[in-house]
């Protein structure tokens, strides 16, 4: 079975996991039992999908019997059945107790043990009550045989005769008169039929033993593959987590750098405006002081004192307040914001390309690289721009 097991997998339906029965081929090239695929699509309904590759069919495709595959499966099953049973397995022995070896009571006295059964009288007799069959000429043509147990059950209900033959075509025991009704069959003696069926059942049991061993190995293989897939996915998820952590670190670094530049620009502009504010406060206080002196001089009554004070105040000049233009570096702010937009657009574009690639290509079974570099896009930090002074 070891050398046939790989072939058994190839010749098995992926729905019922048994050898193909009337295999059919889908347009996408996969094989299934006709009944399995029909039942699957009846339950699934349109649109119809291939159970193996998930190809979609809006209309149920026409399925044709794969005659070549059917012949291969038949030859495989014949080769499997012809194999000898495993050496380490011995079929259970059939009970050797024959019905004639058991104790049967005399049907006449119901006390003594029967020594013979008459196939004409359909009764069993002890030594005493069997005597007429030896002494009387009327019983000389009655065939005798060792005592038969459950004689009533072995009688033919139609002809009241012992059923000594077996019809393999109908699978029933018959008597000699029933042979007329089974003339197209091939009846055989019960002992011969019993031995023949026993050999067939023993062979069937050996084949079942091989199938059970194969199923056990298949279960172990499936469980091993489950563990392998689980371990592989855990490794890939850890790699993926590391990659996303690196990407997050790149984004966090870019955000920190951009935020620092904006705060530096804010500090520069805010500092200059604060200096201007302090100068304006000083000038306002000076003008208010001069205003108060002018008002006080105008209120003086002494003309001599007024002239001296007015002449002095007249010589002091006053100018309107001038506010220099202090604005943030809009080009710098625009560049920082544009860098963030470029990083976001690049991230979206890379993710979209990756999703489209996965949708177009079949799922690959190979592992990712050491750091998942085959499937994870790399990002570069935006170039730093020199702040404008």
Reported in sequence order, the residue ranges of 112-201 that DSSP labels E, i.e. its strands, are: 116-118, 123-125, 144-145, 165-167, 172-174, 188-189
Is the dihedral angle over the CA atoms 258, 261, 267, 270 positive or is it negative?
Answer: negative
Same fold, 5-82 and 99-187: no
pLDDT at res. 93: 58
Q: How many CB atoms lie under 10 A from the CB of residue 215? A: 11
Spell out, as residue ranges, where the chain has pLDDT lower than 70.
1-6, 81-102, 361-389
CATH no., domain 99-187: 3.30.160
pLDDT at res. 134: 85
Collapsed DSSP state (helix, strand, coil) of residue 56? strand
Q: What's the number of CA atoms in the CB half-sphere (13 Å) around residue 6?
A: 1
Q: Which residue has the tokens 């489209």?
A: 356
Q: Say what the pTM is.
A: 0.43
Is the dihedral angle over the CA atoms 131, 137, 138, 139 positive or is it negative?
Answer: positive
Q: Which residues pair with 166 in a beta bridge?
A: 173, 188
Contacts of 225 (CB under 8 A, 6+ apart): none
In the chain, domain spans? 5-82, 99-187, 195-359
- Cα–Cα distance for residue pair 135/152, rounded to 1 Å: 26
CATH-assigned architecture of domain 5-82: 2-Layer Sandwich (3.30)
């Amino acid at each position: 079975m070891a050398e046939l097991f790989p072939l058994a997998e190839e010749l098995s339906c992926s729905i019922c996991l048994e050898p193909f029965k009337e295999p059919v081929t889908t347009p996408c090239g996969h094989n299934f039992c006709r009944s399995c695929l029909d039942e699957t699509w009846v339950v699934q309904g349109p649109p119809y999908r291939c159970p193996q590759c998930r190809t979609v069919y809006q209309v149920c495709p026409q399925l044709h019997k794969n005659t070549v595959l059917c012949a291969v499966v038949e030859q495989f099953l014949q080769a499997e059945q012809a194999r000898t049973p495993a050496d380490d397995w011995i079929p259970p022995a059939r009970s050797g107790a024959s019905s004639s070896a058991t104790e049967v009571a005399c049907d006449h006295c119901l006390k003594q043990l029967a020594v013979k059964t008459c196939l004409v009288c359909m009764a069993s007799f002890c030594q005493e009550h069997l005597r007429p069959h030896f002494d009387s000429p009327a019983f000389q043509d009655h065939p005798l045989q060792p005592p038969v147990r459950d004689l009533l059950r072995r009688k033919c209900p139609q002809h009241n005769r012992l059923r000594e033959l077996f019809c393999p075509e109908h699978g029933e025991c018959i008597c000699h008169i029933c042979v007329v009704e089974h003339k197209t069959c091939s009846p055989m003696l019960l002992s011969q039929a019993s031995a023949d069926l026993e050999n067939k059942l023993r062979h069937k049991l050996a084949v079942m033993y091989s199938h059970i061993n194969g199923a056990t190995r298949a279960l172990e293989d499936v469980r091993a593959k489950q563990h392998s897939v689980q371990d592989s996915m855990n490794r890939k998820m850890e790699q993926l987590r590391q990659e996303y952590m690196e990407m997050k670190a790149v984004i966090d670094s870019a955000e920190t750098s951009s935020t620092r530049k904006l705060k530096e620009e804010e500090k520069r502009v805010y500092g200059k405006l604060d200096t201007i504010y302090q100068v304006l406060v000083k000038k306002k206080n000076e003008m208010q002081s001069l205003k108060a002196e002018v008002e006080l001089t105008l209120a003086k009554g002494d003309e001599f004192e007024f002239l001296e004070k007015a002449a002095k105040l007249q010589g002091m000049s006053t100018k309107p307040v001038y506010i220099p233009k202090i604005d943030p570096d809009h080009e710098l702010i625009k560049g920082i914001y544009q860098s963030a937009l470029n990083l976001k657009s690049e991230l979206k574009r890379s993710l979209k390309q990756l999703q489209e690639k996965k949708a177009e290509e079949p799922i690959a079974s190979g592992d990712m690289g050491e750091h998942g570099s085959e499937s994870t896009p790399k990002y570069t930090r935006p170039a730093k721009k020199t702040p404008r002074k």
